[in-house]
Copies of this chain bind each other. A is one copy, B any other.
Amino acid sequence: MAGIGSLLAAGGTDAADMRNQDAALDSRLRAGRESLGPAATPHYDKPLELARGEGVYLFDAAGSRYLNMYNNVPLVGHGHPEVVSAIAAQSATLNIPSGSLSGVVKAYAARLLGHFPASLGQLVLTCSGSESNDLALRVARAVTGRQGVVVTRAAIHGGSAAVAEISPLLSRGEGLRPYVRTVPAPDAALAGTAPLGSWFAARVRAAITALEAKGAGFAALILDGAFASDGVFTDPPGFLAEAVAAVRAAGGLFIADEVQAGFGRMGGGLWGFTRHGVVPDIVTLGKPMGNGYPMGGMVTRPDYLARASERSPCFSSCGASPVAAAAGMAVLDVIEGEGLVRNAVRCGEILKAGLRGLAKRFACLGAVRGAGLIIGVDVVDPQSGAPDTAGARRVVNTLRQNFVLIGTAGLDGHTLKIRPPLCFTAAHAAHFLEVLRAVLASLG
């Protein structure tokens, strides 16, 4: 600290001379010192410094415009005026932590819960998807009295210590804990001729048995409704039902992680789990809930929450703020007012049809999967059909050079992950398909 020595020398109780410290700082800035940690590394080979966002577009410092199909957080579009106004107005009016409830928080909670099955009658608001999943694990373990959790092999459920433990892709330096078991993604290609639902349920049952044998017992199966980090697995609708029945038979809870899938992204309703005709025991929500305002939520049965709260209070002190509620309310208004769930279905179909057309033409594209506006496309070796991780990176980085942003996913990182804001249109889809065609031709 510029000045800590002199501050203490001066007696330690004088007010800091912040201006001097800021001057020292400026020189640090000029020196270009990297002040953010290693996890802040950008995703592209050529780093991207962004300056502005509007609708589906991001703009860099030089004014170049990018079609953003990468990010699920700005759900209803970058800088949506209705959401921005709601945040600004509520920030000016009242912004307090959750202790003292305000009308807008209660109204939002009631409105949001109205979009869930009646059994899921209580909401805890948090500041992030990580906090929501952390809380969900605590509730599941308190309710079952057991520790064991089943996740998919490439799951990412968040960054807190408890949640990173159940996120195999984040545990690169360490093996998984004995109370965590993985199952493969529900990939029809792996299931072969077996019905996908039975194949997946058998793997879940085996994982539960292994946990019980280890003595950890089985607390919960937690799944991302879109299997986004696994590579996007959405079909056939209903395939999850048998696995969820196996969970219930073993006395465990099913946690639907809707951080990626939720709020209409998959079409057909607001939540990914509706696609499978199942009712979760706990649902967790995150980033898109406030279109980027940091908020999340955990929805569960009141008796479950009461039981967990007996052991330790379930809270997030900044979670239930009126500003978060106002942002969340505006997001629901926009989804409804602009018909974004219907739009996700329509534009998702256009994208998938186009991608399947390209896959016929370019042998490096494999399976195309997805529902609504979350789509995965495998990049494979044209000869062997094996996953082509480097090829997927090449496609993503060349698209970025051509002002289109997408990501990768999957255990092998060979799946193109396509996830635009829900205000994406047929014209954007056509533009993307044309750029991708040109990129594939150039790489070919």
A residues apposed to B, CB below 8 Å: 1-2, 4, 7-8, 12-16, 18-19, 21-22, 24-25, 28-29, 33-40, 42-43, 47-53, 58, 61, 71, 73-74, 78-79, 81, 83-84, 87-88, 91-103, 105-107, 109-111, 113-118, 120-125, 127-131, 134-135, 137-138, 159-162, 164, 170-174, 237-238, 264, 267-270, 274-275, 277, 279, 287, 291-295, 302, 305-306, 309-321, 323-324, 332, 335-336, 339, 341-342, 345, 371
Contacts and interface: CB of A to CB of B under 8 A. Distances in A.
B117 A1 contact: yes
A268 B14 contact: yes
Nearest to A59: B94
A359 to B, nearest CB: 22
Most central of A22, A96, A267, A318 by chain B CB within 10 Å: A318
20 contacts: A13-B237, A13-B345, A16-B115, A18-B336, A18-B341, A25-B111, A35-B110, A36-B122, A38-B305, A43-B100, A48-B100, A53-B95, A73-B96, A81-B92, A95-B293, A128-B317, A159-B314, A173-B312, A174-B311, A293-B294
A115 B110 CA distance: 43
Contacts of A319: 294
Contacts of A15: 264, 267-269, 339, 341-342, 345
A83 B87 CA distance: 12
A194 to B, nearest CB: 22
Contacts of A306: 38
A294 B321 contact: yes
Most central of A264, A275, A287, A319 by chain B CB within 10 Å: A319
Contacts of A101: 36, 40, 42, 47, 49-50
Task: Please tell me how many copies of the chain the complex holds.
Answer: 2
A99 B35 contact: no
Contact of A314 (B39, B43, B237): B39
Given A15-B339, A161-B138, A28 B114 contact: yes
B97 A73 contact: yes
Nearest to A170: B312
A367 to B, nearest CB: 20
Contacts of A24: 114
Contacts of A58: 94, 96, 100
Given A49-B102, A134-B160, 18 more contacts: A4-B279, A12-B268, A21-B114, A22-B114, A35-B122, A37-B309, A38-B305, A38-B313, A39-B313, A43-B99, A52-B94, A128-B316, A137-B161, A138-B161, A172-B313, A173-B310, A173-B311, A293-B323
